[in-house]
Structure 1
Amino acid sequence: MTSGTRFLLAARQCEIAELEQLARTSALVGVIGRFVHALQRERGMANIFLSSRGARFASQRTQQVADGAAAEAEVRAAFDGLDTEDAHARNGSRLFSRVALVLHALDGLPRLRERIAAQALRAGEATAAYDKLVAALLAVVFEAADAATDPEISRALVALFNFMQGKEFAGQERAFGARAFAAGTIDAAGQEHWRHLVAAQEGCLQVFTDFSDAEVLQAERAAQDPEALAQLERLRRLGFGTRGALDAELSDAWYAQCTRRIDGMRALEDLLAARLRGLCERRIAQARTELRDQRTMLEAFAAQARAADPATLAAYGPHLERSVLALVQEQARRLQAMGDELDEVRASLNERKVVERAKGLLMAHRHLSEEDAYKALRQMAMNQNRRIVDVAQAVLSLAEVLPGG
């Protein structure tokens, strides 16, 4: 077999190896989703528990901590299963760095729970700690999506990541609303933060919609609970429209309606993860079949060349070369088409990177919180009638002339 055909087959084998790595990473995403859901419930219960000075959700929070510990063990086991010896893993540096940050944050989780049980910190402080851990877990999912080399799998991962991020904003809204109702009060800044969480959900879910097929969108509609959504909107209006006192007795109802909605989102998240795993399996099987067919074809060509008598071998040689060239060209066209589609899919991820970098710049130079930095970008985008990513890019372009923070 010629050296050219050897590298042709090697290219296909590399593609299979990348798909197999994606399959393992996709399985990790499903495990992370279960743990994030447990943490989101725990965060909401902790907010009511602390804001009510221990009067509400004490026993439920204790049980949820046990559930969260079981989900955490799954995540740790999945991390242990990652091949950290593979120095050539695509995106391995960023992915493994994200995993290290998660493990560091998990080391502080028992202490956080102890302080919540002792009511030794405020609800807002507990929320910030949970938010930071969930953000670290979702960053692992983001790196998984960014590492995808197959356009169809990348599209599915982008949809899943944005759905998980939207669900996290829904979880933050549940925790914030629970805290506000349990405390029996809300101010203008709190209402603005509440509206920000609603808008953030809508933005993520719109990206999810953009990257999902008709079957997924139909499942998403079926998973919605109209009654829960209606009750949620009613309670939102109370929170948005009542400056000052809130009915503390509504904290349980708020938590219940938000939980109905988020549990429905969790069911869809499971479906998305299962579809992603199935997609990886199908793409691997397809690639293996194509590799087998290519190998069979090339071996047949080589066998025919060896069997040819010297008189016809000279004429057969160019035919073999043309056949191999056709295979190379066809594979090159396929990879180019995949690359073009992948660039289009990754645009959403790249936009997120730009916005995150611009937020970091504003946080450093203006001493803003992450939320305030995002609000500043969003306000500039609204004032200039531009996309937020375009404003973020403009902010980054000024990085070199900004004074030190």
Structure 2
Amino acid sequence: MGNAINVFSEIGPLKQVLLHRPGKELENLMPDYLERLLFDDIPFLDQARKEHDAFADTLRSKAIDVLYLEDLAAEALTSDGLKQQFLTEYLNEANIKGSDARKEIESYFSAIKDNREFIDQTMAGLRKNQLSVGVNKNLSDMVQDEYPFYIDPMPNLYFTRDPFATIGNSVSLNKMYAETRRRETLYAKYIFKYHPMFIENPVNLVYNRENDTRIEGGDELVLSKNVLAVGISQRTDVSSIEKLALQIFESEPSFEHVLAFNIGEERKFMHLDTVFTMVDYDKFTIHPEIEGDLVVYSLSKPNGQIKIVEEKDTLENILCRYLELPAVELIRCGGNDITAAAREQWNDGSNTLAIAPGEVVVYDRNTITNNKLEEAGVKLNYIPGSELVRGRGGPRCMSMPFVRENI
């Protein structure tokens, strides 16, 4: 029996990937609540879907099997009992105030018989004007009246990279940084536990959403079958990296080192993969703003005990040593133009998705960074990103590899 998950690098030829096509959750974004939902602007859904479809078609044109989160989640609810179990957990985590509201909301969702329609509605959230709750309101129901939602939408779901991460043959099922995103990992929990493709090939979890410290997939990069890189960032705690490293060393024996990159806690550097991605055996994108102050720690387990060392060297030398390379090339976002670097990093110029060694998917809008990548001999597949980028994420953020060929 083969492994349903196989990811031992960032650059091995991509064979199967998970996406989420943007849905009505984006139409439930409102200017007054953007910060709460981690958005800076409201994407135009029709155009965002066209851009996302172009992304999926680009992947399919390379013979990559494209799966969708919403399909797998619907297919995982293989019985009425399981669907009810999911709904109970979903409502428990939806922060609904008032028992009367909870009962009527549960009835509303229970009445949706089609699993895919049911999943779509849970992702979109529930506006108060969609459901008229009866007049027997308690104080909690009444005080909450000003807020337009019974259940918040999940507009960040099209960034499938973050709720979990695939590492080797295992999955890191993450505890998300923001409360608004923590519910996103419920879909992955049910997929990996109950979907037929994982019932036959059970997945080992190296992190769990019930953990008490946060970690997100944009901070987890598989540099080789021996080396995992994890960002210490706005979204990922130091203590989470130690917990992850312990599990990785125990259950994924090929991994010998975890490199912790301290990139700081600014929103613009939200995850490690917004400032650093791998595009070839010896080539990496990097945002020049993090280079000077970047501190890297290495974690290993040479004699059954975790050993942590601060690496006092240049990033190039650290990468050469751990990846056993004679030299590496850092391709700077925006080139040497600090204005272009800041603009293109904000628009995810550093957030590339490698689909094979030396071949990546990029947004077409980051012209200076894209030129630098081409000058370095990297093959680019361009996708439009005018609307998708409003969520602050690029091709790597929007994709979760399930299977890559080993290299």
The two structures have a TM-score, normalised by structure 1, of 0.26
Higher share of residues assigned strand: 2
Higher share of residues assigned helix: 1
The two structures have a TM-score, normalised by structure 2, of 0.26
Which structure has more relative contact order (CA 8 Å, sep 6+)? It is 2
